[in-house]
């Protein structure tokens, strides 16, 4: 394992483990407290499997009251808590800590209300993302954000990570589709943000909570907006001789006022890996493959398909297939959806990155990656949410070769630095977690990070909730609270006064 520094375990907490387990058992009876090592193994990692750690103890509450009492119990005894949903985080957001209680929300698995007139579903946080869509499917509705882990990932985890998916460009991220939550603060207080109505009466704490990676509070209920399914969806599969041409095609589609339901790009290594795996009929001679999906009424989709086809042709496309049936549309997607396991077949291990860049910088970033690939001696395949500039480079390595994991991580860090350099960001949808924590200073200076930590201080002043994630170094709240007015009084600032 590479040199990831986590907060030093608190010896006092470790020593009191039996007492803590007993305390938790008094709150959650029966099988809701797991303290046997062999049973805790199931929880030692999340989707970022390079890192493993057994927690102090695992607790699986069933009621909001229990969550509140657990957090209050831990807060009063200065015990750290790591919240976990389905454990599909790709950035180590749910990585346990040796001295922390792992608070698993998977028993909160019920849909509480389906309300079609108001187009909302109220669900407990352990309900899966897909579970919400499935529940409203008979009436022709769905929940729009669809991260690729949607079969397994929980809606509470989606809130914590502000999850995306391939339809974000048109339908938004989790933050744009959640109307309300109930959450428990570290001191045990239960608060509700939003609800079935829109916008907030005060500060947009719902906006802050969404994507806060389990450091601010534990979500116990989620209200989401559901949408009516589009009447039809059709896709184009377009091949280009260069990524520049593919990128320009994407820009021209958007420039023409078209916002596709999905717009995905793959580079040559990813195309080949996917085609070898699922035989979707992808053209193998092209350098960039674009999938453009248009959804809406049939008359609109047909109109836009013609426009996109013309734009593709103008940009030098070498192939352009248009789906004429639902089976064909799904076949176009089959390769893209299987891209990760496909890459898994051609390499013992792969490391998935998640930077976002301004779309126009794509050729520069791809060229940079080719140079880095030579430098590190590791292959890289790219899948790319082309519509919103979110890159998923897959770095191929072999964990059994000493030093290769470290090389892959260094390679990944270099890619993310390049993303920031061209005006992009470290993570588009996977979160900072432990994975990109130490890269935060690439994007934010100390003052920027201080403001984010001050939000943390307002919610959890003792830094007990999910420590070691997101922030390279958490400064003490008392220290952050000090005012520094350097230079003393400034009675005549040099700006116009009236």
Of 53 and 427, CB closest to another protein: 427
Q: What are phi and psi of 222, to 5 degrees?
A: -135, 135
Minimal distance, residue 369 CB to another protein, in Å: 18
The CA-atom distances, in angstroms, between 487 and each of 306, 484, 491 are 64, 9, 11
Half-sphere exposure (Cβ direction) of 480: Cα atoms closer than 13 Å: 21
Of 234 and 456, CB closest to another protein: 456
Of 6 and 453, CB closest to another protein: 453
Of 348 and 441, CB closest to another protein: 441
Residue 19, H or E segment = helix 17-27
Of 407 and 456, CB closest to another protein: 456
Minimal distance, residue 20 CB to another protein, in Å: 25
Contact yes or no for 412/353 (Cβ under 8 A): yes
The CA-atom distances, in angstroms, between 120 and each of 98, 128, 159, 374 are 39, 16, 16, 50
Minimal distance, residue 27 CB to another protein, in Å: 20
Half-sphere exposure (Cβ direction) of 453: Cα atoms closer than 13 Å: 24
Minimal distance, residue 94 CB to another protein, in Å: 15
Minimal distance, residue 38 CB to another protein, in Å: 35
Of 152 and 422, CB closest to another protein: 422
Residue 349 C-alpha from the chain's centroid: 21
Of 99 and 354, CB closest to another protein: 354
Rounded CA separation 467/214 (Å) = 9
Minimal distance, residue 392 CB to another protein, in Å: 11
Contact yes or no for 213/93 (Cβ under 8 A): yes
Minimal distance, residue 206 CB to another protein, in Å: 8
Token pair in block for residue 493: 């600032």
Question: What dihedral do alpha carbons 345, 96, 445, 426 form, nearest 10°?
Answer: 20
């Amino acid at each position: 394992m590479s040199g990831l520094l986590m907060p030093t375990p608190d010896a006092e907490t470790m020593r009191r483990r039996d007492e803590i387990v007993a305390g938790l058992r008094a709150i959650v009876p029966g099988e809701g407290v797991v303290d046997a090592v062999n049973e805790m193994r199931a929880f030692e990692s999340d989707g970022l499997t390079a890192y493993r750690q057994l927690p102090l103890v695992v607790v699986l509450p069933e009621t909001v009251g229990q969550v509140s009492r657990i957090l209050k119990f831990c807060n009063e005894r200065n015990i750290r808590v790591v919240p976990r949903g389905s454990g599909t985080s790709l950035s180590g957001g749910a990585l346990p800590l040796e001295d922390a209680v792992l608070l698993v929300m998977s028993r909160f698995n019920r849909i509480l209300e389906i309300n079609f007139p108001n187009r909302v579903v109220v669900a407990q946080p352990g309900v899966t993302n897909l579970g919400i869509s499935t529940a409203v499917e008979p009436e022709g509705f769905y929940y729009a954000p669809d991260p690729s882990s949607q079969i397994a990932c929980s809606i509470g985890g989606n809130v914590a990570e502000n999850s995306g998916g391939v339809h974000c460009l048109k339908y938004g991220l989790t933050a744009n589709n959640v109307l309300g939550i109930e959450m428990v603060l570290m001191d045990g207080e239960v608060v509700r943000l939003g609800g079935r109505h829109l916008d907030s009466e005060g500060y947009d704490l719902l906006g802050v909570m969404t994507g806060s990676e389990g450091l601010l509070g534990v979500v116990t209920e989620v209200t989401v907006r559901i949408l009516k399914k589009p009447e039809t969806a059709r896709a184009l599969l377009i091949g280009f001789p260069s990524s520049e041409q593919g990128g320009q095609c994407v820009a021209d589609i958007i420039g023409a006022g078209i916002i596709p339901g999905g717009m995905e790009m793959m580079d040559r290594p990813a195309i080949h890996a996917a085609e070898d795996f699922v035989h979707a009929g992808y053209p193998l001679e092209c350098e960039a493959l674009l999938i453009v999906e248009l959804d809406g009424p049939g008359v609109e989709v047909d109109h836009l398909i013609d426009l996109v086809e013309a734009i593709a042709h103008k940009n030098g496309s070498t192939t352009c297939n248009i789906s004429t049936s639902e089976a064909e549309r799904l076949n176009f997607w089959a390769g893209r959806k299987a891209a990760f396991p496909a890459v898994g077949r051609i390499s013992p291990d792969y490391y998935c990155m998640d930077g976002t860049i301004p779309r126009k910088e794509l050729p520069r970033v791809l060229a940079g990656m080719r140079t880095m690939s030579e430098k590190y001696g590791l292959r890289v395949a790219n899948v790319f949410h082309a519509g919103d500039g979110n890159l998923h480079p897959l770095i191929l390595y072999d964990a059994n070769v000493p030093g290769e994991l470290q090389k892959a991580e260094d390679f990944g860090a270099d890619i993310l630095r390049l993303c920031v350099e061209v005006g992009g960001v470290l993570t588009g949808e996977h979160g900072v977690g432990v994975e990109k924590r130490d890269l935060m200073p690439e994007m934010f200076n100390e003052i920027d990070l201080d403001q984010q930590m001050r939000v943390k201080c307002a919610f959890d002043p003792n830094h007990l909730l999910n420590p070691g994630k997101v922030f390279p170094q958490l400064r003490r709240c008392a220290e952050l609270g000090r005012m520094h007015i350097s230079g003393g009084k400034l009675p005549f600032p040099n700006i116009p006064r009236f």
